[in-house]
Amino acid sequence: MIKPTHLLKPRAGKCGLGSAVGRRVRGIAVAFLVAGSSSVTLAGANELYAGEQAFAREDYARAAAIFIREAERGDAVAQTYLGSMYTSGRGVPQDYVTAVQWLRRASDHGYPAAQFLLGMMFDKGHGVKQDFVEAEILLDLATAHAEPRVRDYWTRIRNAVAGKLSQDELAYAQKAAVEWRPIQDR
């Protein structure tokens, strides 16, 4: 599954934006159809693909326009891209509160990249009140379902946030992550 590229471990001297998406956009429609997501239509997958291509070309304004349409239809990938774009101000005005709103929607459906980004927002206090316990819950969920190419990086981030917690807070966060269910399963 394609993820906003800044979630990848940054390469030396580069922020990584746009690089991985450009190499991995092929097959997004197939990935969604194979996953059996009933909320994604073929037209929606094609739109998402077009948005990812625009993002990879650094045509952020076009990508944002496409992602907004798809995000409003409930597509977690589009919601995550939008959250990322509002966080960085690419194609849309930088707005942490709006970023959190989009990331929360995708995170509530169990999308790991959104959970990771939202966890970072809670860790830094961007768009939300800083809350290390909530950050740990989200980062624990994201790391548990991370793709191999980002798992080690996400694990290091999660462990760094865990180091900010007391033993009781960490135990609570881990229990909450184990008991968490996506919105469709609640």
Is residue 1 within 8 Å of 77, Cβ to Cβ? yes
CATH topology of domain 5-185: 1.25.40
Structure confidence at residue 43 as a pLDDT band (50, 70, 90):
low
Taken in order 80, 85, 87, 88, the sign of the CA dihedral is positive
- Over range 43-47, report the average pLDDT: 75
What is the reported pLDDT for 6?
46
Query: Phi/psi at 95 (nearest 5 deg)?
Result: -155, 100
SS3 17: coil
Q: In this predicted structure, what is the pLDDT of residue 125?
A: 98
Q: Is residue 17 a contact partner of residue 6, using CB atoms and an 8 Å limit?
A: yes
Per-residue pLDDT tens digits for 100-133 = 999 999 999 999 999 999 999 999 999 999 999 9
Query: Quick one: DSSP state of residue 181?
Result: -
Quick: pLDDT tens for 122-162: 999 999 999 999 999 999 999 999 999 999 999 999 999 99
pLDDT digits (tens, 9 = 90+) for 51-97: 999 999 999 999 999 999 999 999 999 999 999 999 999 999 999 99
More confident residue, 168 or 45: 168
